[in-house]
């Protein structure tokens, strides 16, 4: 059984530091596209980073993107930016350099999602319904250990039958 409680209308999400964002409902297509694009972009940036390093460019201060954890972190930030770009239609509490309400642009959204607490708060709240539906799954899914032992038994008991002895000629 699965409950379809996914929002169908835009709604507000409260983020740290008094920021609020008004978002479109999340769809699986948007979620998967942002996740996939985040990984592709992270790998492309890592390859470019390696090329710069090989060419002798000064990359002091940049994370070592050959490290899987650093690559995963970059991918997560790019995922948050992709989701936010697809979702945010209005916001409150985001100011520009002149202390005026900031315009919603791809660049401004990317800057907001570069703040770890903002990105984490946004991703957790925006995807929580989607993640809950996935986690809920359905009652016949395999057990967590990868076996189907948790599923319902659908076959009847097996009855052992005797087999006739074979007549083999000894060599």
**pLDDT by position in tens, the chain (length 171):** 555 667 789 999 999 999 999 999 998 888 998 888 888 888 888 888 777 677 776 656 666 677 788 778 888 889 999 999 999 999 999 999 999 999 999 999 999 999 989 999 999 999 987 666 666 664 445 555 555 444 555 555 555 555 555 555 555
Distance CA 171, CA 160 (A): 31
Whole-model pTM?
0.66
* Cβ-contact 123, 81 below 8 angstroms: no
Q: Which two tokens stand for residue 130?
A: 């989607």
Q: In Å, how far are 1, 130, 146 from 137, measured between CA atoms?
A: 8, 11, 15
């Amino acid at each position: 059984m699965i409950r379809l409680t996914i929002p169908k209308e835009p709604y507000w999400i409260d983020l740290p530091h008094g920021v609020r964002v008004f978002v479109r409902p999340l769809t699986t297509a948007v979620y998967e596209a942002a996740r996939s694009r985040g990984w592709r972009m992270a790998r492309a940036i890592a390859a470019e980073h390696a090329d710069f390093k090989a060419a002798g460019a000064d990359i002091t201060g940049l994370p070592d993107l050959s490290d899987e954890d650093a690559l995963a972190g970059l991918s997560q930030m790019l995922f948050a930016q992709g989701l936010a770009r697809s979702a945010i239609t209005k916001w409150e509490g985001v100011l520009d350099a002149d202390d005026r309400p900031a315009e919603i642009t791809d660049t401004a959204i990317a800057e907001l999602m570069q703040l770890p607490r903002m990105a984490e708060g946004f991703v957790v709240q925006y995807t929580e319904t989607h993640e809950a539906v996935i986690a809920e799954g359905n009652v016949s899914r395999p057990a967590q250990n990868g076996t189907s032992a948790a599923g319902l038994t659908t076959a009847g008991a097996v009855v052992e039958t005797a087999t006739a002895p074979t007549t083999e000629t000894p060599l």
